[in-house]
């Protein structure tokens, strides 16, 4: 069973060996090294050239790093969630060098970096100068970001499994018996032909 350190090491080796990778960092709780347990997810920040960035969002590349249970696009553009074998779920946030070089002042990436930031690979020094140029912003509301979509449903399915692994059965029960069911109905209902619904407005 792979642990977080093994996944971090494997991801770093994989991308550092690619010429079009400009930098790798950890963000979030593992980036700041606080409030972390063995079930905490891993948030990777990876800077790659645009041609590779498109492939990483649209193909199942993660299996070349370690065995994969589940891989799907996350909520925002250029984000992918991967659950590796051993239930190590990892979020990959991909940016291009052009995007990073153009960033100044308050921005969404500033929100990410404010939660924790640890550089793993930075051969051109691009990541080192980034934190001093950008700041957190007042982003979209959670309701806008986390509206019901297939990626959000799968994200929360993985989160429910994480609660079970942690022994947090109350949250797992509440999520599986209420929220996930509600989200699934919201996804399915628009696809149900109107003529198949006998009772309307229920």
**Same domain for 131 and 85:** yes
Same domain, 151 and 195: yes
159 close to 171: Cβ distance less than 8 angstroms? no
Q: What is the pTM of this model?
A: 0.70
Judge if 102 and 10 occupy the same domain.
yes
The span from the CA of 111 to the CA of 160, in Å, is 25
Does residue 85 sit in the same domain as residue 145?
A: no
Instruction: Residue 72: give its domain's CATH number.
Output: 3.30.460.10
Verify that 109 and 171 share a domain, yes or no. no
Whether 16 and 52 map to the same domain: the answer is yes
Provide, rounded to the nearest whole percent, the portion of the chain with pLDDT above 90: 31
**Residues β-bridged to residue 32:** none
Q: Return the beta strands (E) in the chain as ranges.
A: 21-27, 42-48, 68-73, 79-84, 88-95, 105-106, 117-121, 134-135
Both 102 and 173 in one domain: the answer is: no
Residues 75 and 115 occupy one common structural domain: yes
How many structural domains does the chain have?
A: 2
Could you tell me if 49 and 65 lie in one domain? Answer: yes
Name the residue range of residue 196's domain: 140-202
Q: Model confidence over 36-54: pLDDT tens digits?
A: 888 788 999 999 999 999 8
pLDDT tens digit sequence for 125-165? 999 988 888 888 765 544 444 567 777 777 778 788 878 88
60 against 44, higher pLDDT: 44
User: Domain check: are 123 and 158 in the same one?
Assistant: no
CA 70 → CA 44, 47, 61, 157, distances in Å? 17, 23, 12, 11
End-to-end CA distance of the chain, in Å? Answer: 47
Co-location of 89 and 170 in the same domain: no
Are 195 and 110 part of one and the same domain? no
């Amino acid at each position: 069973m792979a642990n977080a350190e093994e996944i971090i090491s494997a991801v770093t080796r994989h991308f550092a060996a690619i010429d079009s990778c400009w930098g790798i960092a950890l963000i979030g709780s593992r980036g700041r090294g606080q409030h972390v347990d063995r079930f905490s997810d891993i948030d990777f920040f990876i800077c790659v050239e645009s041609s590779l960035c498109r492939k990483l969002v649209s193909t199942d590349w993660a299996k070349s790093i370690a065995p994969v249970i589940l891989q799907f696009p996350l909520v925002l553009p250029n984000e992918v969630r991967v659950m590796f074998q051993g239930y190590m779920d990892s979020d990959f946030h991909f940016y291009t060098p052009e995007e990073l070089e153009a960033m100044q002042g308050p921005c969404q990436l500033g929100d990410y970096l404010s939660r924790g930031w640890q550089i793993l690979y930075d051969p051109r020094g691009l990541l080192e100068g980034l934190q001093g140029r950008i700041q957190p912003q007042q982003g979209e509301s959670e309701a806008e970001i986390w509206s019901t979509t297939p990626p959000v449903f799968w994200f929360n399915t993985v989160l429910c499994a994480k609660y079970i692994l942690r022994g947090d059965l109350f949250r797992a029960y509440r999520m599986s018996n209420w929220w996930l069911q509600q989200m699934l109905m919201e996804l399915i209902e628009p696809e149900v032909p109107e003529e198949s619904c006998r009772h309307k407005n229920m």
